[in-house]
Structure 1
Amino acid sequence: MLTGSRQTRDGTDHLVLTRRLGAPVEDVWAAITRSGRLALWFCTWTGDPTTGRVEVRWVFEEDMPGEAYVIDACEEPRHLRVRSVADDPTQVWTLDARLDSADGVTTLTFAQVLTEDVDVREVGPGWEYYLDRLEESVRTGEVSTVAWEDYEALAEEYAVLAQG
């Protein structure tokens, strides 16, 4: 089921997805910022984040080289904004995660800047997959077993979203 929507923020189009996780905000923050926790559902990173830059390696994508990411905002435990570094500006991805919490439930609002070079039919299902993996890893503390094949059909739904 498609959970993403297209939203304009500060004059820029974003793909926005929301997840409610039954965990404290500090736990969800760790799951999206600590390399060992990220490895349970998404990627790992190396380097010194205090420099404002880390090297990201996608764990669940075959044949993906490491990529440099710049940390544009890191306001623990509420807001993380990063962007990839690429020689080709059309290949830069800007990702934004915001966390709110109440009564032991943390709401993650995840957004990716949409440009004419970002195909929402591809990234939409991808983020659905990864955020469901996040939910499972936060719940279990284990490597997620969510399978990609269950998300491929969402491309058709995201094609409709891309038109609007």
Structure 2
Amino acid sequence: MTAKPTGHYVLKADGLYLQFDRLFHAPIEDVWFSLTNPNAMKAWIGTYTGRPSTGGVRFQMTAEDGAEAEWQNVSILECERPYRFTADSGSGPEGIRVFCHLIEGGGMTTLTLGQRMNDAAEAESMGPGWDYYLDRLIAARAGAELPVWDTYYPVFAPHYRELTVPSTAKA
């Protein structure tokens, strides 16, 4: 797989999102499992403890810092298995909102992931990060070698720095 920057902006009712799409040759339930099962998540991003049905979990992003990574409180705002979830991590200006939407058709599943941007300047670092993690997800599911961070950052930063913020489009 040749890595390339894929994120784009989408303006939604609650703010500006940096959004990414990936296509999987797999049933929707299988992709959902990779996104929501704490053991499956270990292969590409991290893990969590707790029960999402309670509306909150503790998430650890182990792909970067391993077992030393900090645990974060995450609020599950929406969860409609196997189609979508929305979650918040942190609060105030430092808080992060992420959503995942899945659609299945023709034996394939499309994942759309978005992160709300508090400041468009954040895209320069967030964009390469999400491209990296989503490509790790693809590699982990295929049993392939995981991508290397240096392929993504700072190489992709100019793409995200130059993105144009939509002014009238609503999604």
State the TM-score, normalizing by the size of structure 1: 0.91
Which of 84, 88, 105 is residue 89 of structure 2 equivalent to?
84
User: In 2 relative to 1, CA 74–133 (structure 1 residues): closer, same or farther, beyond 3 Å?
Assistant: same
Residue 80 of structure 1: SS of its match in structure 2? Answer: strand
The alignment-based identity, stated in percent, is 29
Partner of 2:169: none
* Residue 28 (structure 1) shift: 0.4
Work out the CA distance in 2 between the residues paired with 1:145 and 1:151.
13
Partner of 1:151: 152
User: In 2 relative to 1, CA 30–41 (structure 1 residues): closer, same or farther, beyond 3 Å?
Assistant: same
Q: Which runs of 5+ in 1 are unaligned?
A: none
* Residue 156 (structure 1) shift: 1.3
* 1:14 alignment partner AA: Y
Partner of 1:48: 51
Work out the CA distance in 2 between the residues paired with 1:7 and 1:161.
11
Q: Contact conserved, 1:91 with 1:117, CA < 8 A, in 2?
A: no
* Residue 64 (structure 1) shift: 3.1
**Does residue 13 of structure 2 align to residue 10 of structure 1?**
yes
Work out the CA distance in 2 between the residues paired with 1:163 and 1:105.
30
* 1:37 alignment partner AA: A
Residue 19 of structure 2: SS of its match in structure 1? Answer: strand
After superposition, what is the alpha-carbon deviation per residue over 1:107-126, rounded to whole angstroms, capped at 9, x for unaligned?
00100001128611000000
Q: Which runs of 5+ in 2 are unaligned?
A: 167-171
State the number of aligned residues.
Answer: 160
Which of 23, 38, 42 is residue 39 of structure 1 equivalent to?
42
User: In 2 relative to 1, CA 118–158 (structure 1 residues): closer, same or farther, beyond 3 Å?
Assistant: closer
Work out the CA distance in 2 between the residues paired with 1:106 and 1:58.
25
Residue 63 of structure 2: SS of its match in structure 1? Answer: coil
* Residue 10 (structure 1) shift: 1.5
* Residue 18 (structure 1) shift: 0.3
Partner of 1:112: 115
The root-mean-square deviation of aligned C-alpha atoms, in Å, is 1.7
* Residue 139 (structure 1) shift: 2.3
After superposition, what is the alpha-carbon deviation per residue over 1:14-34, rounded to whole angstroms, capped at 9, x for unaligned?
001000011110010000000
After superposition, what is the alpha-carbon deviation per residue over 1:83-114, rounded to whole angstroms, capped at 9, x for unaligned?
1034xx11110000000011211000100001
State the TM-score, normalizing by the size of structure 2: 0.87
